[in-house]
Amino acid sequence: MEVFLVYSANKSLLSKMIQFYTKETYNHVSISLDKELVSTYSFGRKKMSNPLIGGFVQEDFWDPFFLTSECAIYSLDITEKEYNKLLSLIEFFEKNKALFKYNFIGLLALSLQYNLERENAYFCSEFIATLLSESDVTSFDKENQFITPQDLLELHGLEKIYEGDMFHYLTKENMRETLNASAI
């Protein structure tokens, strides 16, 4: 079975400030259960117009906020058992999303290398690390609150399948799905 890590950087001021600080091309990571990025989850903005309102989100890359983003998409093969555990965890977050909040304080602690565990609060890479470790896909040398998007790139078996603008990827993948559906 295959899941996808979606790295992105939008054109917002906050995104540019984070890029300036980290010196990394991409500052946000999500996990998708499909290549078309329909079932994609992370911790991020709940309202695109306000970066301070965040939490568990199912991301819509067709939203104009994301459509102009640059992205890199990686596939990761996992077992059926790992996939089912991952899916159960995502369903738990979805069912209880009102309990979860974005871990802004954790981001600050990460930048200071201060160990701060917060209950029911995650930032994007901390969430992905939690999903992957709790579903037995991998384990990390450090605690999840210290995992950055770049750390996830070191996962064994991760394969880059695309890098470029989000719009181009989405239109290419949806065209492929449309052609495959009409051939059936």
For residue 15, pLDDT over 80 is answered with no
For 110-153, the pLDDT digits (tens) are 888 888 888 999 999 999 999 999 999 999 999 999 999 999 99
Instruction: Give the Cα separation of 111 and 21 in Å (integer).
Output: 10
pTM of the full predicted structure? 0.89
Please, what are the domains in the chain?
Answer: 2-183 (3.90.1720)
- Exposure class string for 17-56: b at 16+ Cβ within 10 A, else e: ebeeeeeeebbbbbbbbebbbbebbbbbbbeeeebeebbb
Instruction: Give the Cα separation of 79 and 72 in Å (integer).
Output: 23
For residue 107, pLDDT over 90 is answered with no
